[in-house]
């Protein structure tokens, strides 16, 4: 009993001492003095005004802590508010204080508001707070002081209801984070040893960029970082963008996370990308994702392998980044089949080129080609894009110095194949195309590419063209180069020359006859060849040659690509007759050349049979024929007279 009484008196004495200590602590704690001292220090060292509206509050149970309410901080050298917070509380464990150790139990921040600014000169308004020497000049002749290592041991961090604004005065853009929350479990870090251990990290962000909203969420149960080795349990990440009925949501689970302070490796990456847009035919699209990722911060390099599947398409890609800035990238892309048209909104009929608000044609912007260096290979089994149907695509890309070269480029298309190259240069907005098409069916190609039904046949086409300009119209008007085609067993659509020639006899002496192109009519041929010289958007042809069992067709003229029209004079000659191509009447026109002028805009071509020119040519031909006939008769008469004279001289 005596021993118990002694223990009781000791406990009472300790409690009494603690009570005295707590009382003394409260008695000595001067909140107003602390406010004044903190504000003075901030003003002297940072030239910023710190205002603490509420009186600092001290608590000693269950932890020793201090709480600040209604805090504002100004911009450097200004009274403009930079940041504000509703309240902040820091608490430390009691028992370690007895051993002169400080262990932060918790850090709680509520209602933080801050505005971060990137000025037009590229400087940041928080440069001084980040320790930028240029933002905070050191005293003259002051020796450089190495940064003191910082050790952090916090049982928990909680930031709630934070609002941040990022204003880029160079780009003229503003991004608002309306709700940011961050929480952690136990956090230990040593800046000297470059180590960190974080438990139960959770980050959630919601904000607005222009008219679009965005969100980000990150959960990491445990992360251990050190120069030698870093690792972590599976990390869950989600990010999304929403606006005007459209959205994109990315969800990822990162497993096998390991590395060190300079590099990180994610052995397994799984997740999905969900897209929604009112203009997409299927409205929504979901892509599963599988892959792996490696990043080396010291070497500024990264490697990503990623595969996905949607509908009937399987896509696999490998990316290797040799340098982050300026970007140097290598890639390899494999797609078994892809119908791009299926996922794009239909193009309105008769849609005109995009116009700016002022009514001018929208410029072609190739600025994205400047800066990065990219090399890669693309292989696609089958592809449909803008109605074009392509197969076995193989392309090698090289981008450097703002110039993109796709060479070699080969593929199968419309019963044939093509090989060649494409070059695009951001300097001067230049473009060059070289292609050699072999055995291609021209009619479906022209229908899908140009929406024109003008020509049938199968054969070869060569293109060697280049252009430059700021708009699509300028590209067309600056087109230079050459082209050629050689087709067999086809037809020119829009006119039946055999039928027109058959009608010539009845129309001789009449005015020239003009008719609109009629897709139901056509002129068959066995061979058709032509070459073109292209300058300033105009393709000039002088060697058209078309052959069929009944007609020979030659011609010359211009196709004005820039103006979207043509003026071409073809000359058709009947060489034989046949019931199917002209009948008995056509036989009477054998050898007669009929000029046919093809003219007008591409959308409304017309054919005009120039009877006047035909009669003039026919008359000249008849005159020449008569001249030749008279000449022949005179020569024959002279020969006969000479024979008679010779016989007389010989006496026979």
pLDDT score for 318: 96
Cβ count within 10 A of residue 354? 10
pLDDT score for 95: 58
The encoded tokens of residue 50 equal 């710190």
Q: Which residues are CB-contacts of 620 (< 8 A; sequence separation ≥ 6)?
A: none
pLDDT score for 638: 52
The encoded tokens of residue 609 equal 């049979």
Give dist(CA 242, CA 250) in Å, integer.
Answer: 12
Give dist(CA 387, CA 451) in Å, integer.
Answer: 9
The encoded tokens of residue 194 equal 């470059």
Radius of gyration (C-alpha) of the chain in whole angstroms: 42
Give dist(CA 566, CA 557) in Å, integer.
Answer: 8
Give dist(CA 544, CA 559) in Å, integer.
Answer: 13
Identify each DSSP E strand in 324-442 by its residue range.
328-339, 373-385, 388-400, 403-413, 416-425, 430-441
pLDDT score for 578: 47
DSSP annotation of 361: B
* End-to-end alpha carbon distance in the chain: 185
The encoded tokens of residue 325 equal 């800035």
**630 phi/psi in degrees, rounded to 5:** -65, -40
Give the residue among 232, 214, 132 at the shortest CA–CA distance from 175.
214
Give dist(CA 293, CA 291) in Å, integer.
Answer: 7
Q: What is the length of the chain?
A: 652
pLDDT score for 583: 45
Strand 593-601 vs strand 565-574: parallel, antiparallel, or unpaired?
antiparallel
Q: Give the mean pLDDT per block of 10 residues along the chain (652 residues).
A: 40 40 45 80 88 79 78 89 89 62 77 90 85 54 57 86 90 88 89 85 90 91 84 91 89 89 86 88 88 90 93 92 91 94 69 50 87 94 92 96 94 95 94 96 89 88 94 92 94 74 55 57 88 95 88 90 89 64 49 79 78 56 58 60 53 50
pLDDT score for 610: 67
Burial (Cβ within 10 Å: 0-12, 13-18, ≥19) of residue 17: exposed
Give dist(CA 215, CA 243) in Å, integer.
Answer: 12
The encoded tokens of residue 430 equal 């230049």
Residue 78 · residue 101 · CB < 8 Å: no
Give dist(CA 584, CA 393) in Å, integer.
Answer: 52
Residue 187 · residue 152 · CB < 8 Å: yes
**631 phi/psi in degrees, rounded to 5:** -60, -40
Residue 318 · residue 304 · CB < 8 Å: yes
**443 phi/psi in degrees, rounded to 5:** -65, -55
Burial (Cβ within 10 Å: 0-12, 13-18, ≥19) of residue 491: buried
Largest CA distance in the chain: 187
pLDDT score for 630: 63
Strand 104-110 vs strand 81-92: parallel, antiparallel, or unpaired?
antiparallel
Residue whose entry in the numeric block shows the structure tokens 């073109």: 532
pLDDT score for 532: 95
Give dist(CA 205, CA 217) in Å, integer.
Answer: 6
Is residue 164 classed as helix, strand or coil in its secondary structure?
A: strand
Give dist(CA 333, CA 315) in Å, integer.
Answer: 8
Residue 91 · residue 105 · CB < 8 Å: yes
Give dist(CA 298, CA 261) in Å, integer.
Answer: 9
Burial 614-638 (b: 16+ CB within 10 A, else e): beebbeeeeeeeeeeeeeeeeeeee
H/E stretch holding 114 reads strand 113-118
Give the residue among 245, 244, 241, 265 at the shortest CA–CA distance from 255.
265
């Amino acid at each position: 009993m005596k021993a118990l009484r002694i223990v009781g008196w000791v406990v009472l004495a300790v409690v009494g001492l603690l009570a005295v200590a707590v009382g003394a602590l409260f008695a000595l704690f001067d909140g107003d003095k602390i406010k004044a001292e903190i504000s003075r220090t901030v003003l002297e060292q940072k030239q910023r005004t710190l205002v603490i509206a509420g009186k600092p509050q001290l608590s000693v149970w269950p932890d020793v802590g201090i709480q600040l309410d209604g805090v504002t901080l100004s911009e450097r050298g200004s009274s403009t508010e930079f940041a504000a917070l509703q309240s902040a509380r820091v608490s430390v464990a009691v028992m370690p204080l007895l051993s002169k150790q400080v262990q932060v139990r918790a850090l709680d921040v509520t209602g933080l508001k801050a505005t971060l600014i990137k000025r037009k000169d590229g400087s940041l308004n928080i440069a001084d707070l980040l320790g930028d020497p240029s933002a905070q000049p050191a005293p003259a002749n002051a020796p450089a002081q190495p940064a003191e290592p910082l050790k952090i041991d916090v049982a928990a961090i909680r930031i709630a209801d934070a609002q941040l604004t990022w204003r880029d005065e160079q780009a003229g853009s503003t991004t608002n984070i309306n709700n940011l929350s961050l929480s952690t479990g136990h956090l230990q870090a040593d800046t000297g040893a470059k180590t960190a251990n974080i438990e139960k990290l959770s980050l959630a962000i919601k904000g607005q960029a222009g008219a679009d909203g965005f969100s980000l969420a990150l959960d990491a149960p445990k992360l251990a970082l050190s120069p030698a080795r870093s690792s972590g349990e599976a990390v869950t990440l989600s990010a999304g963008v929403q606006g005007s009925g459209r959205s994109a949501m990315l969800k990822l689970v990162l497993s096998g996370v390991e590395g060190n302070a300079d590099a990180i490796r994610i052995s397994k990456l799984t997740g999905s990308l969900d897209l929604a847009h009112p203009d997409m035919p299927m409205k929504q699209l979901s892509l599963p994702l599988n892959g792996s990722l490696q990043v080396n911060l010291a070497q500024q390099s990264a490697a990503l392998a990623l595969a996905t599947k949607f509908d009937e398409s399987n896509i696999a890609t490998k990316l290797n980044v040799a340098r982050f800035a300026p970007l140097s990238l290598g890639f390899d892309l494999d797609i078994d089949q892809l119908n791009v048209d299926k996922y794009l909104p239909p193009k309105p009929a008769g849609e005109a080129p995009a116009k700016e608000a002022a009514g001018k044609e929208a410029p072609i912007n190739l600025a994205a080609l400047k800066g990065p260096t990219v090399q890669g290979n693309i292989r696609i089994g089958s592809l449909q894009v803008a109605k074009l149907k392509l197969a076995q695509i193989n392309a090698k890309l090289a981008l450097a110095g703002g110039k993109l070269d796709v060479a070699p480029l080969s593929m199968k298309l419309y019963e044939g194949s093509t090989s060649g190259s494409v070059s695009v240069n951001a300097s001067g907005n230049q473009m060059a195309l070289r292609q050699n098409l072999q055995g291609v069916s021209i009619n479906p190609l022209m229908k899908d590419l140009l929406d024109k039904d003008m020509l049938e046949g199968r054969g070869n086409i060569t293109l060697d063209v280049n252009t430059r300009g700021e708009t699509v119209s300028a590209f067309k008007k600056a087109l230079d180069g050459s082209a050629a085609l050689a087709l067999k067993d086809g037809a020119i659509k829009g006119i039946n020359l055999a039928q027109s020639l058959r009608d010539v006899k009845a129309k001789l002496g009449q005015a020239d006859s003009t008719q609109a192109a009629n897709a139901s009519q056509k002129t068959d041929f066995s061979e058709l060849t032509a070459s073109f010289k292209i300058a300033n958007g105009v393709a000039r042809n002088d060697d058209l040659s078309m052959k069929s069992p009944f007609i020979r067709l030659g011609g010359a003229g211009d196709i004005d690509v820039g103006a979207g029209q043509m003026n071409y004079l073809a000359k058709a000659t009947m060489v034989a007759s046949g019931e199917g191509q002209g009948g008995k009447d056509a036989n009477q026109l054998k050898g007669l050349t009929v000029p046919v002028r093809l003219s007008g805009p591409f959308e409304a071509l017309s054919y005009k049979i120039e009877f006047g020119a035909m009669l003039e040519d026919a008359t000249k031909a008849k005159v020449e024929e008569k001249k030749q006939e008279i000449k022949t008769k005179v020569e024959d008469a002279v020969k006969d007279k000479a024979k008679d004279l010779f016989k007389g001289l010989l006496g026979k």
